[in-house]
Amino acid sequence: MVDTNPSNPPQTSSVQSDVDLARNLNELKAPALGHARILYGSEARKYFDILDAPIGPDWHIAALVCSFEGETKTLRTCYAESPLEAMNKLVQGLKTDTGKLYCKIQVGDQISGQQGYTGLNGVFQLDTSKQPRRPSGDLDDTESIKEVGRKRAFAGVPTRPRGDHWAPPVKRQRPDMDDWDREMEVELRSSVSHRDGRRDRLEYGRAGEDDEDL
């Protein structure tokens, strides 16, 4: 609730305290988002954010959330008596798990996707099936990252029309025609098509006779 009564202006010390708290929280959030991207993946349209909110008189929560294509999922939460303490606990947990990841990653390695999961016991474990890749070339060459990204972006995009999916265009029926008129039109088209086909065969036969005479 916002106090709009001018007779009760906020105390300067209180405002300064809130400004300092917001600055300290933002200073913790910035590196934490970097840890979140390397642990949970940095795919396109996959966004991370860290929220802090009071859930009681002396109880605060810090939460790491992930949003993708309109869906949002809470990945981690920490609770404490102050928002700064809750945020610090969340950040320290992300740093610890990032350290686990870098025990198997060396300079020049490439990784993709989520690197681990938190089980029902609340402990984050690395996914052993996700192994870093070591492309050829210089250790800090970023062209290999862009190449993989381009291949993933265009994966599944057809390069030409597929013949087995082609279908002839459907002619729209005239609304002013009744069933009898439509049947007559279909019969007339069939007759014309048969006549044209017979004419083509006759012309093809005459052409063959002319070739034999030559």
In a domain, 106, yes or no: yes
pLDDT digits 0-9 by tens, 175-212: 555 555 556 555 556 555 555 555 555 555 555 555 55
In a domain, 46, yes or no: yes
Number of domains, the chain: 1
In a domain, 30, yes or no: yes
Domain that holds residue 120: 13-153
202 class by beta-carbon count within 10 Å (0-12 exposed, 13-18 middle, 19+ buried)? exposed
In a domain, 65, yes or no: yes
pLDDT of residue 211: 52
Q: Which residue stretches of the chain have pLDDT < 50?
A: 1-4, 9-10
Q: What angle do CA 2, 26, 55 make, to 5 degrees?
A: 50
In a domain, 137, yes or no: yes
In a domain, 110, yes or no: yes
In a domain, 196, yes or no: no
In a domain, 31, yes or no: yes
State the chain's mean pLDDT as an integer: 78
Phi, psi of 50, rounded to the nearest 5 degrees: -120, 125
Strand partners, 125: 117
Structure tokens at 33: 């988002």
pLDDT of residue 17: 82
